[in-house]
Chain A
């Protein structure tokens, strides 16, 4: 596909994402805060719905095009050490400013100019890693791409089926009305 056409498709899909994210009020930074306060049902249910649909959809996609299907996202760096550290730094960042990536983009769309400041503040952090830290660390990286079924040495359908059923069960439990 021509790259310009790809960009156009991407932009149009992006508009759809933004529309639904704003309507649903998705922000995992707020969600983490709710979980820490013991009020995590809302974000857990949102997450479980996204998880169930996406896991099934991504898995089934390989039956339409063999090059699709489940793929590792990002990289497992330094046997996962850098993933945990970067997750911790990212988690600290989103709790400080109150917006994950989707939340930041949504808030910008809603006219909250604070999140333009947040958005621009990504630049020095990214530049620090790309131009200073990465060139030093890269030599010592052990980089892998692994999926859970490979790690467990269990065929994909069994793992996908099990996690989707568990997620569905959890969603049903969270959706049950409280007994008075």
Chain B
């Protein structure tokens, strides 16, 4: 995605608004956005004090918010997946499921919450992500191009 230079461009403004909203949520209800662990209710784990259930509901809101935004941008289009990309998507999803559960706080949460909290577990997870992503990039994406 092309992006304008300088501080005051829409992409950075909206990214900043995401961060500000996350901090406000922490101030107001003492909770923050959680990524991967939020899906554990789908396998029957609600977490301590139903934390994962709360995060699951937040993330259902994220889908609705993206829907509202894309509809207002006229970017919303129902797209059916091509059959040939399904195996890769299923394998990717399966690996994500393993990754987010093996060590909590591994996923996108590390970038938007864990690292700003200066959490060591998130720093290690990000290092692992770069390595794992790079291996897949070299084996699949780069070899195809």
Instruction: Verify B104–A92 contact, CB threshold 8 A.
Output: no
Task: Give the contacts of A83-136 with B (CB-CB under 8 A).
Answer: 83-98, 100-103, 105-115, 117-131, 133-134
Instruction: Verify A33–B141 contact, CB threshold 8 A.
Output: yes
From B75, B85, B100, give the contact of A114 (CB < 8 A).
B85
Task: Give the contacts of A24-71 with B (CB-CB under 8 A).
Answer: 24-26, 28-30, 32-33, 36, 41-42, 45-47, 49-51, 53-55, 57-58, 61, 64-65, 67-68, 70-71
Instruction: Verify B101–A125 contact, CB threshold 8 A.
Output: yes
Instruction: Verify B75–A110 contact, CB threshold 8 A.
Output: yes
From B29, B77, B85, give the contact of A111 (CB < 8 A).
B77
Contact partners of B25 in chain A: CB under 8 A = 9, 13
Measured CB to CB, the closest approach of chain B to A34, in angstroms, equals 9
A101-B36, A121-B90 are known contacts. Are A149 and B105 too (CB-CB below 8 A)? no
Contact partners of B140 in chain A: CB under 8 A = 95-96
Measured CB to CB, the closest approach of chain B to A168, in angstroms, equals 11
Instruction: Verify A92–B116 contact, CB threshold 8 A.
Output: no
A23-B14, A33-B137, A67-B30 are known contacts. Are A125 and B94 too (CB-CB below 8 A)? yes
Scoring B residues 1 to 39 as 1 if CB is less than 8 Å from chain A, else 0, what string do you get?
101011100111011111111111111111111011101
Secondary structure class of chain B's binding surface, majority of residues? helix
Contact partners of A122 in chain B: CB under 8 A = 36, 39, 42, 93-94, 96-97, 100
Instruction: Verify A126–B101 contact, CB threshold 8 A.
Output: yes
| B133 at interface, CB cutoff 8 A | yes
Contact partners of A85 in chain B: CB under 8 A = 102-103, 128
From B43, B62, B86, B114, give the contact of A123 (CB < 8 A).
B43
Secondary structure class of chain A's binding surface, majority of residues? helix
| Category for how many chain B residues contact A | 35 or more
Scoring B residues 56 to 69 as 1 if CB is less than 8 Å from chain A, else 0, what string do you get?
01111111111111
Instruction: Verify B23–A90 contact, CB threshold 8 A.
Output: no
Contact partners of A126 in chain B: CB under 8 A = 39-40, 42-43, 97-98, 100-101
Known A-B contacts: A19-B69, A73-B113, A122-B42. Give 13 more (CB < 8 A).
A9-B28, A23-B69, A32-B137, A33-B137, A46-B15, A73-B117, A74-B121, A85-B128, A90-B96, A93-B97, A117-B90, A130-B45, A146-B119
Q: Which residues of A contact B (CB under 8 A)?
A: 1, 3, 6-7, 9-26, 28-30, 32-33, 36, 41-42, 45-47, 49-51, 53-55, 57-58, 61, 64-65, 67-68, 70-77, 80, 82-98, 100-103, 105-115, 117-131, 133-134, 145-149, 151, 159-160, 163, 171, 175, 177
Q: Which residues of B contact A (CB under 8 A)?
A: 1, 3, 5-7, 10-12, 14-33, 35-37, 39-40, 42-45, 50, 53-55, 57-70, 73, 75-81, 85-86, 88-137, 140-142
